[in-house]
Amino acid sequence: MIVKMYDMNYGESILYREAENRLLVDCGAKYGKKANFVDNILEDIRDNKCQLLITHFDEDHYNGIIQPSMQIKFDKIYLPKYTIKNGEVVGTYSIFEDAVRSWTYLTAAGKKKKLSMLHSFFVKLPLLVDEKLTDICCLGNGDNFMLGKKIVNILWPEENYEKRKKLYADEIIDCLKVESNDDMIDGFVEKANEYVEKFMNIYKAFCNNNSNNYDQLVQITINDFYELNNIYSELMVILSRLKINLNNSIRKRLTAISSNIIRNMNECSIVFEIEDDVLAFGDVTPRVIKFLNKNAALSHMNYKIIKVQHHGTDAYWSEELPNAGYYLISNSGDYNVKWSISEKYCLKYSGKIVCTNDNLNRCKYYKITAHCNRCNVDFKHSSICIDCENKKLVESMFNTYINKLYSIQRKDSTNGRKREC
């Protein structure tokens, strides 16, 4: 297996290749020219058999997919599966529904980006599969799929993870009503709720494509996406007429809520393993990693590659990562250096860190020691490749290397000659 991690600035996209089969995990960037990032990825997946997995719904993991140049058909598309819980415990489905509702409400406060990105991604999904909408499905703990001859096991989200999570949509509306005309805000809320109901019905259908966890099977067609887009357009018209002037204290509270919602979504990221080759943590929080270890969810004690959670930032640092030959960190660029790479990773896993960082101010370890082995601040590679089987970093061009690796001698049964394929 060959693993290629692209430099997405502050974002993430990693390509896993097993023989002629490819899996693209995430495709997004918080800053920078996303079209350039996407073009680099398209060179490796265009005209090839490829599946897509989106670990969670934060735009730095999926907004590359909505770029105009991303004109490609995936064999399968996998999204995170959020589950319904009963009683006082808030299930991941409720967390996701609250995030969609909150992002919809927050458009009235001038915070339109989250909903705009998510909406654009969902309405594009039918264009990204070649055959039918059932090629889009949601995955959670216990699910798996094949990448060539390798099994990809999904370890998270976990249905039985019982943590009390705060929901925010009602508080957002209360904040908005303080500064608006009730009649106008009520009309906005009614249309917003109509949008969320339609959106979540589409999401439920994707969940049903892989399981029967929901009480009712939801059937959708391409018309459902047209209807969702129409409701969104109507919502934007109402929004253009809505005048809300928020005071500073409410603005600060809504900004804090936005950050909390993202952390909720991060905690619901897909975590997966590909046998003992790869363990990838998405953007999950340290307590999720602790939960996985406590419940013996990981199949191996040692992995060839671990994809570190949340771009290697200090706020998501965990002491409980398993052993690995390489630890991958996707984090680079000049923007928002407060989300820099923690020095703890290089101090604990000396000589094993592989990152995309090209900015000396973005790595705390670099400031302490100048640099670590294979530091990308020095090389500035646009991508980094690792050969799992031979346990080595590939410095040459990705396609050149894999073509050489998979060029094998086969005996021609008809004439006894050997040929390359």
pLDDT digits (tens, 9 = 90+) for 237-275: 999 988 788 889 999 999 999 999 998 899 889 999 999
Sequence-ordered strand ranges (E) for 332-373: 353-355
The pTM assigned to this predicted structure is 0.89
Report the alpha-carbon distance of residue 373 to residue 383 in Å, rounded: 16
The whole-chain average pLDDT of the chain stands at 84
Mean pLDDT of 380-393: 71
- Which residues make beta-bridge pairs with 323? 302
* pLDDT value at 84 more than 70: no
Place of tokens 């594009």: 124
- Going by pLDDT thresholds of 50, 70 and 90, the confidence category of residue 94 is confident
What is d(CA 384, CA 5) in angstroms, rounded to the nearest whole number?
A: 5
H/E segment holding residue 372: none
Mean pLDDT of the region 214-228:
75
Return the biggest CA–CA distance within the chain.
84
**Lowest-confidence range among 71-75, 183-187, 212-216, 274-278?**
212-216
Query: What span, in angstroms and rounded, lies between the C-alpha atoms of 6 and 13?
Result: 6
How many Cβ atoms are within 10 Å of 348's Cβ, its own excluded?
14
Q: What is the pLDDT of residues 3-44, one digit of tens each?
A: 999 999 899 999 999 988 999 999 999 876 666 788 889 989
* Nearest-angstrom CA–CA distance, 229 and 119: 8
What pLDDT digit, counting tens, does each position of 171-184 carry? 999 888 877 766 78
User: Under a CB-based contact definition with an 8 Å cutoff, are residues 125 and 57 in contact?
Assistant: no
CA 129, CA 254: separation in Å to the nearest integer?
36
Phi (first) and psi of residue 323, to 5 degrees: -75, 145
d(CA 400, CA 380): 19
Contact assessment for residue 200 and residue 214, using Cβ atoms and an 8 Å cutoff:
no
Closest CA to 138 of 85, 73, 191, 206: 206
Q: With bands split at pLDDT 50, 70 and 90, how would you rate the model's confidence at 402?
A: very low
13 vs 70, 273, 377, 414, 415, CA distance in Å?
A: 14, 16, 19, 43, 44
pLDDT tens-digit series, residues 275-327: 999 999 999 999 999 989 988 888 888 999 999 999 999 999 999 999 999 99
- The pair of structure tokens assigned to 274 is 């590909």
In percent, the amount of the chain with pLDDT more than 90 equals 52
Q: Which residues contact residue 2 at a Cβ distance below 8 angstroms, ignoring those fewer than 6 apart?
A: 16, 17, 385, 386, 387, 388, 394, 398, 401, 402, 405
Q: How far apart are CA 32 and CA 111, in angstroms?
A: 20
pLDDT at 311: 94
